[in-house]
Each structure stands twice: as structure tokens, then as C-alpha cells.
């Protein structure tokens, strides 16, 4: 398995507060992704990165921003958290046109 860690693993926050989730990989994979997983929707792409400082939006990017200043780190920021952003967030990486490797997930609750 690719070495992918996510932090924090669990977080409870209040509406309106900023939140940053971190994804760290040790495999030197080019591509990194942030997904959210909600009942009835499956995994949905929030943002992805195809290299350092190269990012693009996914299908559910509103309210989220990302940054990738190093190959190994991909940060997801909720500038002002809302209850609709309560979800489980997964980071994934891929070296190229092959399988994606997933992190353990972060459970975020916005009260």
C-alpha cells in the first residue's frame, strides 16, 4: 500500500470556522485527490492536483480550496465550514494511469 496519511482523523467544529485537512504521501505520486463520501452519493471528487501548485476543481468544489506546495502534501481547506460539509473525507494518490491509493479518511462534523 502507498504510504498515505490523513490528519486529523476526526474533527468536530462549529459552523463558520475554518478547517484544514492534510494529506501526506510518501510514494512520490504525481496525482492527489480529495473526495467526500456521503450516504447515497458515493465518493465525489472535490479537487485534485496533477503536480506541485497545479490543481483543478472536481464536481463538488464549492466551499473548498486546496493547496499543494510540495509533492507529498495536499491540503484541503474549508474557509467557513457549514453543516452540509459534514462528511467523511478521503485523500487518494496515483502515480499515473493506474490505480488510486486511498488514505484512511477524516470524519468531519460541523455543528
Determine if 99 is a binding residue for other proteins (CB under 8 A): yes
Q: Cell numbers 509533492 label which residue?
A: 71
Cell matching residue 58:
472536481
Our finding on whether 24 is near other proteins (CB under 8 A) is: no
1 lies in the site for other proteins, by CB under 8 A:
yes
DSSP state of 37: E
Q: Is residue 61 within the footprint of other proteins (CB under 8 A)?
A: no
Among 22, 75, 101, 109, binds other proteins (CB under 8 A): 101
100 is a contact residue toward other proteins (CB under 8 A): yes
> Least separation, in Å, of the C-beta of 98 and other proteins?
7
Of the pair 16, 101, the CB lying nearest other proteins is at 101
**Bond into 8 cis (ω within 30):** yes
Is the Cβ–Cβ distance between 33 and 91 less than 8 Å?
yes
The verdict on 96 binding other proteins (CB under 8 A) reads yes
Distance of alpha carbon 20 from alpha carbon 27, whole angstroms: 22
Judge whether 93 and 27 are in contact, CB under 8 Å: yes
Report the greatest alpha carbon distance in the chain.
Answer: 39
List interacting residues with other proteins (CB under 8 A).
Answer: 1, 31, 33, 40-45, 48, 50, 56, 58, 90, 92, 94, 96-105
Amino acid at each position: 500500500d502507498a504510504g498515505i496519511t490523513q490528519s486529523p482523523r476526526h474533527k468536530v467544529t462549529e459552523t463558520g470556522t475554518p478547517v484544514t485537512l492534510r494529506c501526506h504521501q510518501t510514494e512520490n505520486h504525481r496525482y492527489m485527490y480529495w473526495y467526500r463520501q456521503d450516504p447515497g452519493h458515493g465518493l465525489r471528487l472535490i479537487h485534485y492536483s496533477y503536480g506541485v501548485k497545479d490543481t483543478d476543481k472536481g464536481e463538488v468544489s464549492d466551499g473548498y480550496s486546496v493547496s499543494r506546495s510540495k509533492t507529498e502534501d495536499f491540503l484541503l481547506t474549508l474557509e467557513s465550514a457549514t453543516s452540509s460539509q459534514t462528511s467523511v473525507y478521503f485523500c487518494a494518490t496515483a502515480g499515473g494511469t493506474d490505480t488510486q491509493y486511498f488514505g484512511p479518511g477524516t470524519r468531519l462534523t460541523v455543528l
